[in-house]
Amino acid sequence: DTGVSQDPRHKITKRGQNVTFRCDPISEHNRLYWYRQTLGQGPEFLTYFQNEAQLEKSRLLSDRFSAERPKGSFSTLEIQRTEQGDSAMYLCASSSTGFRENSPLHFGNGTRLTVT
């Protein structure tokens, strides 16, 4: 399977702990996106990278959140001092430059975070 891969699939952590998620995009895609989805809601945009450059960040991305894509390939999303409100599905997606009909966003299956 050469789709978007996310790890881990599930993470349970205690409030105040730090967590880190990893995303491996489709290999030829240079854009990578992070979205957050809470129960019963649609995904919400967090941030995106073109190659290694982080080009846009949502206001949802508080200073406890940091995302990196150091070599323009895989990306990590770290949440520091987790809060119960951080419990959600964190989705990663990738695409090629210039959104065209043949370059849609391909989503991974997400990392489900539960903060207790």
Q: Interface residues with another protein (CB under 8 A)?
A: 4, 31, 33, 35, 40-45, 48, 55-56, 58, 91, 93, 95, 98-99, 101, 103-110, 112
Amino acid at 96: S
- Residue 81 C-beta: closest distance to another protein, Å: 26
Query: Does the bond joining 8 to the residue before it have cis omega, within 30 degrees of 0?
Result: yes
Nearer to another protein, 3 or 16 (CB): 3
Q: Closest distance between another protein and the C-beta of residue 28, in Å?
A: 15
Nearer of residues 80 and 87 to another protein, judged by Cβ: 87
